[in-house]
Homo-oligomer: A and B are copies of this chain.
């Protein structure tokens, strides 16, 4: 256990630890406008994004943890050295990684994100699994999407599992949080985006649509929940309902795999055609 300025050991009851620990719950994240990013990769990206307000780390956890703690101190951020138990209390992972940053929430208004004229936008409509949502956020970033929208009834992007699965991408894109899903889709279309619903039972084949030039436009992709897909009223709003072709005997892809195929098809089409129209 390490001591802090003013003396005394750092425990889970230390006020700054207790305040950070509250952020494991969505209610408190929203009250405080903060969230937790855990592990060297996420903390590195959070520091680069300039959103870290405070850092907790475990001394002796290795050079990458120590280097990030040094970097945070040099930047004038409050850093707290603490024991393994304190770090464990600040995460929900089975194997804590020895470093946790308290971050300012990074989401922007939908109007701001759309005002930047994004070429590729992702809407996660009703996705409940935070690991899936974070994985798609990471894939969206990799495919060149610059805005990712978590409307109402979707998992909280600041959920620890989502932040972890995003592997830093939560700090790279324009993150939008909340909004009635149909209003979000209407706003996308008004901003000049072609809206495509990923739909395992869709009438439009992804590869045929791509070959016909359908993916070269600026595009907003809608992905629905693992269990139920997109709500019918939302899918019906899209310009096309697009299915990933099944070449073998599988009935479907899992959600994150389907999103990877769709988003990389868009990326390929947009890059092949130069700047999207």
Contact, CB under 8 Å: A253 / B139 = yes
A189-220 vs B, CB cutoff 8 Å, 1 = contact: the mask equals 00000000000000000010001000000000
Contact, CB under 8 Å: B253 / A260 = yes
* A249 CA to B142 CA, complexed, in Å: 6
Among residues 239 to 274 in chain A, which have CB atoms less than 8 Å away from a CB atom of chain B?
244-254, 256-261, 264-265, 267-268, 271-272
Which single residue of chain B is at the shortest CB-CB distance from A136? B257
* A169 CA to B254 CA, complexed, in Å: 12
* A21 CA to B268 CA, complexed, in Å: 48
Which single residue of chain B is at the shortest CB-CB distance from A268? B207
Interface size for A (C-beta < 8 A) is 41
A130 to chain B, nearest CB (A): 14
Contact, CB under 8 Å: A248 / B142 = yes
A98: B residues at CB distance < 8 A? none
A159 at the interface (CB under 8 A from B): no
A17 at the interface (CB under 8 A from B): no
* A165 CA to B132 CA, complexed, in Å: 14
A59 at the interface (CB under 8 A from B): no
A247 to chain B, nearest CB (A): 3
Contact, CB under 8 Å: A139 / B207 = no
Contact, CB under 8 Å: B138 / A254 = yes
Contact, CB under 8 Å: A248 / B168 = no
**Do A271 and B257 form a contact, CB below 8 Å, given A142-B252, A252-B142?**
no
**Do A250 and B167 form a contact, CB below 8 Å, given A207-B268, A244-B264?**
yes
Identical copies in the complex: 2
Among residues 136 to 151 in chain A, which have CB atoms less than 8 Å away from a CB atom of chain B?
138-146
A91 at the interface (CB under 8 A from B): no
* A267 CA to B256 CA, complexed, in Å: 18
Contact, CB under 8 Å: B271 / A207 = yes
Q: Which of B139, B165, B173, B253 contacts A142 (CB 8 A)?
A: B253
A162-179 vs B, CB cutoff 8 Å, 1 = contact: the mask equals 000101110011000000
Which single residue of chain B is at the shortest CB-CB distance from A137? B250
Which single residue of chain B is at the shortest CB-CB distance from A165? B254
A135 at the interface (CB under 8 A from B): yes
Q: Which of B173, B246, B260 contacts A257 (CB 8 A)?
A: B260
* A168 CA to B168 CA, complexed, in Å: 33
Can you identify 5 A-B contacts, CB atoms within 8 angstroms? A139-B253, A141-B248, A168-B250, A169-B249, A169-B250
Q: Which residues of A contact B (CB under 8 A)?
A: 135, 138-146, 165, 167-169, 172-173, 207, 211, 244-254, 256-261, 264-265, 267-268, 271-272
